[in-house]
Structure 1
């Protein structure tokens, strides 16, 4: 059947709640409304207000409540309504959610899956489009995942909820309506494992979340120039699957890393560092980055100029092939 990425996440939440009575879904407008993107649609009708419920507009309280529930044996799945609203909860996420298991020497488990719709491309107003993944990936104690298609959205969400570790689950909001023919439930590769979405011989293009589809579109367009691009979907940002990254670079000798977030100190910089540490002698050219700019997310009408696109990726492919 054909499902969207949003529907795949909805089904994953439904199935997890069916299989385990300890799974709770809560956040702003997730109950009766079903979330602003309808990702939690009808979960409250099915499981009742005790297991899928609305919260006040207080992100710090949402995450703090999730931490307390997890300490008492529940498996909470709180939602941040938009990526830009996570910052009021930064203290709870970084100081407590990430550190409690380590602080307690593993005696306190925090099986929390923090859902965050993130990224641009939907023409949203200020504070509704951000790419905060580097904050969470840099924070020791958190696992960070971002699916790029409906199949992964289902299987990775199920895997995240089943983990005893806190997970930041980044949902690419511009891809919520991306469709795939898949029979749910589906099992894909483990979330920690990167996947080669397209094999190629000239340049490895690494992407995750919303940029996977853009990278694949760039790879198709590159064939008109006679370039053969390999596209690797990172899927997990923390931990990174270094083995798959290195193996791809060893095949092609060149790499372009793509993400929506600002360029400086981003995930692409970390991927580039890992490549030069483990695959330096395989490189035929410097690792290049196709990213957003070092400015705040722009107004909606300027998004198309700010976000990486096919042309920006191909410009860097041409540049790396020129070395």
Structure 2
């Protein structure tokens, strides 16, 4: 076992300062992903900064009607929270479709957003992986890639982001609040995760040492019809092969608001902007949903063994849109 230092932070300022003083440190919350990667030798932090005792474990309603979710709120608690179930059902559904009950009891909101890909080549230190070791190559591209990306991938990386929660947050227009040595800032979830490009080792636009302090769910999407669908190899405890989260509002017989995000098809939750533009102002119908989602997926570039994902993502997205229309 590789030895490492351990710091237990009690304030966000203390956590950020501890990170600055320990190059190569990692923040530890639920540890459901980080600890696994340490066991595999993928992550080798010199110091772990325990943030579990920070005062970030509350769900708070803000004056403008939005909901602030602390970074250390457990996934199981967030899924069961009455305000989330009532106002943002897509988020509750996404959380309940993820992992096992035991893992949801440990995993946190911030940690969920920061989890790394489940690509087998990333997790195996004997295999080439540009995400783990830049410049070493992408073993998955010519290897086993049935579960990998069909949208937004690059020659350097075809990995997908595994989070269910992040897909729902993208459709709900949530924001991520961050704290670092340079102070506080807020970024949209849709801009938080990166496409791989030339630097697949950078999963997000988080700055070195920054800590997620909260996720804010906006008042604008509260109580709008929303839902989440997930296709996977087995009914429980399996990562998505394709998923979709959607928000749909119909006013006077036409779609007045729509948001659609796809999961398990790209390096980040994929906000389907082309599909949304095609649906605004039209009457909700299966044909319209199929046409719009087809426009979005026309940009897909499937690999040798994962072309099935294009049709699967199409059907999952149409299904969730159709189910929301039936409820409007």
Using the size of structure 1 for normalisation, the TM-score is 0.29
Higher helix share: 1
Using the size of structure 2 for normalisation, the TM-score is 0.29
